[in-house]
């Protein structure tokens, strides 16, 4: 598989698929982590006099919703690069085509949100061909969407000479190393919701890690499958069926022994097995934090994805925060990934306490699960 260094890019129009799906607030970008991670590829191309055409999505717009415009990203890129980044208000059309035709070597353009066009998510062939007409070379540097079957992910590699950027190269090497050849003990921590995206990952971890710690809604589902009541947090029967094949008696599996339960405004520490029907489970408890922290302290490699509870509510932040502190204090090589997980670590200014912070959520989970990523496979085939 080719990487960006394998191409002669001088005076070539290089389309770079970036992942600028960043959180936005009233004052602009709240976390520019994903933007900064793409800078090495952009700078490399600019220094070698490529005509750099950046494309990305942002959010899930329904049509042309300007609250999802990439213009704030262009402004932040200018600040980070210290040079002009021209923003075009669409990603297709005659005006866009004309401006790119007039580009000078070393110039950087950022096109408007790909998802303003529904054809992007539909992997529409006409859309793909029109997009491909804007470039001579395609570089995939958006690891966070490499598991998607979208035009800019799987379509462009079929139309143009293609390779991966420095960000994607780093992601693949790091994540492959921690799952295939880790220093042991290897501890994995899985929280959050969306159990359907984590079934294969948990199955693999139960086979290959030394300790698997579960929190969040994921833990509630497994507890329910083991016959432990989690009150109003109980999942639907079809959700429990997703984990029917798990080895729930595995000595590697660590579930909460106590939790933070809430009924209206009544919040209490509750032992698992003593949760009332009217209560919701929204965090791991103090004893669980202690058990998990001791396992983390003994690990040599740590993989973490997903919060331990409803951390956006300050009443239920303790579990997630204590796990962050335990990982940050550990000398182990630690990998953290997932949108809200990585965002939280960056917001707290603790990214430098982790061995590696991945830009991917679903893509990271799929790669660690042993599944193939369509966006990477498309480059391989090319």
- Which tens digits make up the pLDDT trace of 246-261? 888 899 999 999 999 9
The pair of structure tokens assigned to 346 is 């960056």
Spell out the residues 6+ positions from residue 89 whose beta carbon is closer than 8 angstroms to its own. 112
Q: What are the DSSP calls for 180-212, one per residue?
A: HS--SSEEEEE-SS-GGGTHHHHHHHHHH-SEE
Q: Quick one: 240 exposed, middle or buried, by C-beta within 10 A (0-12, 13-18, 19+)?
A: middle
DSSP 30: S
CA atoms within 13 A on the CB side of 325: 10
Give tens-digit pLDDT for 220-241: 999 998 889 899 888 888 888 8
Please tell me which residue in 231, 337, 338, 339 is annotated as part of the active site: 339
What's the DSSP call for residue 307? -
pLDDT at 337: 86
Average pLDDT of the segment spanning 360-381: 92
The model's pLDDT over 169-214, given as tens digits with 9 standing for 90+, comes to 999 999 999 999 999 999 999 998 777 788 888 999 999 999 999 9
Q: Is the pLDDT of residue 340 over 80?
A: no
What's the pTM value of the predicted model, to 2 decimals? 0.92
Q: What is the pLDDT of residues 22-48, one digit of tens each?
A: 999 888 898 899 999 999 999 999 999
The dihedral region occupied by 28, where left means phi > 0, alpha psi between -120 and 50, and beta the remainder, is: left
The answer to whether residue 200 is catalytic is no
Query: What confidence category does residue 215 fall into, taking pLDDT thresholds of 50, 70 and 90?
Result: very high
Average pLDDT value for the chain: 93
Answer yes or no: CATH 3.40.50.1260 is held by domain 4-166+375-381: yes
Six-digit token string for 254: 């660590």
Catalytic residue, from 155, 191, 362, 375: name it. Answer: 362
Per-residue tokens: 20: 């600028």
Whether residue 34 lies in the annotated active site: yes
Percent of the chain past pLDDT 90, that is, above it, reads 80
**How many angstroms separate the CA atoms of 377 and 180, rounded?**
19
Q: What is the pLDDT of residue 308?
A: 94
Query: Of 194, 252, 353, 382, which residue is the catalytic one?
Result: 194
pLDDT at site 273:
86
Q: Which CATH architecture has domain 184-331?
A: 3-Layer(aba) Sandwich (3.40)
* Alpha carbons 265 and 92: distance in angstroms, whole number: 52
Q: Which tokens sit at 345?
A: 């670590």
Judging by beta carbons within 10 Å of its beta carbon (0-12, 13-18, 19+), is residue 26 exposed, middle or buried? exposed
Nearest of 303, 309, 360 to residue 333 by alpha carbon: 303
339 is catalytic: yes
One of 34, 46, 198, 366 is an active-site residue; which one? Answer: 34
Where does the chain hold its CATH 3.40.50.1260 domain(s)? 4-166+375-381, 184-331
Note the pLDDT of residue 20.
Answer: 97
Q: Which two tokens stand for residue 73?
A: 């990203």
Does 362 participate in catalysis according to the annotation?
Answer: yes
Residue 255: per-residue pLDDT: 96
């Amino acid at each position: 598989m080719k990487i960006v260094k394998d191409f002669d890019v001088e005076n070539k129009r290089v389309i770079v698929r970036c992942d600028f799906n960043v959180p936005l607030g009233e004052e602009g970008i709240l976390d520019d982590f994903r933007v900064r991670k793409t800078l090495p590829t952009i700078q490399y191309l600019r220094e070698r006099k490529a005509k750099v055409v950046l494309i990305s999505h942002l959010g899930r717009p329904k049509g042309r919703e300007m609250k999802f415009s990439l213009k704030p990203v262009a402004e932040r890129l200018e600040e980070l690069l210290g040079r002009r980044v021209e923003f075009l208000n669409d990603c297709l059309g005659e005006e866009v085509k004309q401006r790119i035709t007039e580009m000078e070597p070393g110039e950087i353009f950022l096109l408007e949100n790909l998802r303003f066009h529904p054809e992007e998510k539909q992997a529409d062939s006409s859309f793909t061909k029109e997009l491909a007409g804007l470039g001579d070379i395609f570089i995939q540097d958006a690891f966070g969407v490499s598991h998607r079957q979208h035009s800019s992910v799987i379509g462009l590699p079929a139309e143009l000479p293609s390779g991966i950027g420095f960000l994607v190269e780093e992601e693949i090497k790091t994540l492959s190393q921690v799952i295939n050849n880790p220093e042991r003990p290897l501890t994995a921590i899985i929280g959050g919701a969306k159990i359907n995206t984590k079934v294969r990952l948990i199955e693999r971890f139960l086979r290959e890690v030394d300790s698997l710690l579960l929190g969040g809604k994921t833990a509630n589902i497994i507890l329910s499958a083991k016959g432990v009541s989690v009150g109003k947090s109980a999942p639907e029967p079809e959700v429990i069926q997703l984990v029917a094949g798990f080895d729930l008696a595995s000595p590697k599996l660590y579930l909460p022994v106590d939790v933070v339960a809430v009924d209206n405004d009544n919040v209490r520490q509750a032992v698992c097995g003593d949760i009332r029907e009217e209560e919701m489970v929204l965090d791991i408890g103090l004893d669980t934090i202690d058990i998990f922290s001791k396992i983390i302290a003994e690990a040599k490699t740590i993989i973490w994805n997903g919060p331990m509870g409803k951390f956006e509510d300050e009443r239920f932040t303790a579990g997630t925060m204590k796990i962050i502190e335990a990982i940050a204090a550990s000398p182990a090589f630690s990998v953290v990934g997932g949108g809200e997980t990585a965002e939280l670590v960056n917001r707290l200014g603790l990214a430098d306490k982790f061995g590696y912070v991945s830009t991917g959520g679903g893509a990271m989970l799929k790669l660690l699960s042993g599944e193939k990523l369509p966006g990477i496979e498309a480059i391989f085939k090319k």
